[in-house]
Amino acid sequence: MPGLAAPKIPDGEKVDFDDIHRKRMEKDLTELQTLIEAHFEKRKKEEEELVNLTDRIEKRRSERAEQMKIRAERERERQNKMAVSSTLSLFKLMVHNSCHHMCPLPFQQTQTGGKRQTEREKKRKILNDRRKELNIDHLKDDKLRLKTSTMSSLSGINFTVGLDARKTIVRDQFGIVEIVQVCKMQSLLIGVSPYLG
């Protein structure tokens, strides 16, 4: 060990080995005590740093939870505003469309530009796009069964789509009747005759 020097033996005197051993033990004890104190001081500092770190983590976690709560609240408000604005715009559009026949001519929209497709032409185009030729002459029994099962599932899907369309038509007709009644009531309150045309 560095710092440990050999004891000096005096000339002509008796050497007291017990005294040398006792001094060495005391020196080792003081070194050990200083090492223990340094270790405990270091450990105390590390524990303080650990406590500070856990406090910072908890604080950060609580701030993060608060931010997430605020963000979720803002998102909920935004969704509510979007739902309200979409229903309001839909209602305005329905009122405009239902009261369109009562508006004076300058306010009605005029058709400009090229020839537009009629609804019948649009429907024919969609049906022609959907139509597939049935080519089953070359199919074997298992392929033919598979083809019939897929076609029956497609026809079931088309049937459910038709039912859904009928339901929406009935619901829309009911909404239009209500809007027409509202327009008539408003025009009566304003003093304009609802039967202009």
pLDDT per residue as tens digits for the range 27-58: 999 999 999 999 999 999 999 999 999 999 99
Question: What's the CA gap between 52 and 101, in Å, rounded?
Answer: 74
CB 4 within 8 A of CB 17: no
Say how far residue 134 (Cα) sits from the centre of its chain: 44
Query: Could you tell me which residues come within 8 angstroms of residue 7 by beta carbon, excluding any fewer than 6 positions away?
Result: 20, 23
Buried/exposed code over 120-148 (b: 16+ C-beta within 10 A; e: otherwise): eeeeeeeeeeeeeeeeeeeeeeeeeeeee
Closest CA to 103 of 192, 176, 189, 172: 192
Q: pLDDT value at position 106?
A: 45
The pLDDT of residue 70 is above 60: yes
Q: pLDDT value at position 195?
A: 58
Domain ranges of the chain: 16-98, 139-197
